[in-house]
Amino acid sequence: MKSDNIYLPYLMRVEKITQEAPGVKTFRLKFVDSADEDQFAYYTGQFGEYSVFGVGESTFCIASSPTRKGYIECTFRQAGKVTTALADCEEGSLIGFRGPYGNVFPIEQWKGKNIVFIAGGIALPPMRSVIWNVLDLREDYKDITILYGARTVADLVYKDELLGWGSRSDIKMVTTVDPGGDTPEWKGEVGFVPAILEKIAPKAENTVAVVCGPPIMIKLTFPVLEKLGFTPESIYTTLENRMKCGFGKCGRCNIGSTYVCKDGPVFTYEQLKKLPDEY
């Protein structure tokens, strides 16, 4: 069983690997010690530190829903030393996991509301956790819209799940790729996420918007939502790119006096408006 030392990771076995897109993989992780699994709990929006022994650790959100028991999942793009080592792992490999860290999406407060999910590129994984959490409690929420965009068709992640969400009558699913990123077979939209959001124009009344993507996408999406009538307190995002040590100790996640690892990563647009424009 894991000790009380917060720096000691859980020992996890890579149970399943899914190649999502070029350079992007999803790991399904199982606790090696069943006692760790029994005592572990997390909420949607939280993140962890994933380690390859002898190499280092890297920070990602937990991409699975807490309603799905017995495992956690993470999705990452191979971009540096640790993620390259992770990408070299095979099913059955052992890695470390520290967490969960950070605050959560307040889905209890969203009950009875419409929800619009807006994601771009590799930022769908943190959104996937809250999407599945809400879908597993579907009767608690009203209309659900998912808008997801990527640079090219090949860069779309969770392709099977996108098809599944698109086939459901209780979800409005919209996918888009950047101009030039489509293929002859592509049947979705072509255009940048903020432009497609303005085109589909979800209603703002009794609706929460959840935005996650590259910083430029987030900053260009907020004004569109405000133009559609969304208030800053009804818009949520997660600052995935700012998460570092998990404790707020290394001093690399701060925006002004706010530490994303401790005070976030989930913020409302109203909260971000009060911070320095560094996110």
Per-residue pLDDT at 83:
96
Q: What is the pLDDT of residue 88?
A: 96
Residue 238, pLDDT score = 87
Q: Which pLDDT belongs to residue 243?
A: 65
pLDDT for residue 248: 67
Give the residue ranges of the chain where pLDDT is below 70: 1-3, 241-246, 248-251, 253, 260-261, 264, 278-279
> Could you give the CA distance from residue 191 to residue 174 in angstroms, rounded to a whole number?
12
Query: pTM of this prediction?
Result: 0.91
Instruction: Give the per-residue pLDDT at 265.
Output: 84
Residue type (1 letter), 210: V
Residue 274, pLDDT score: 76
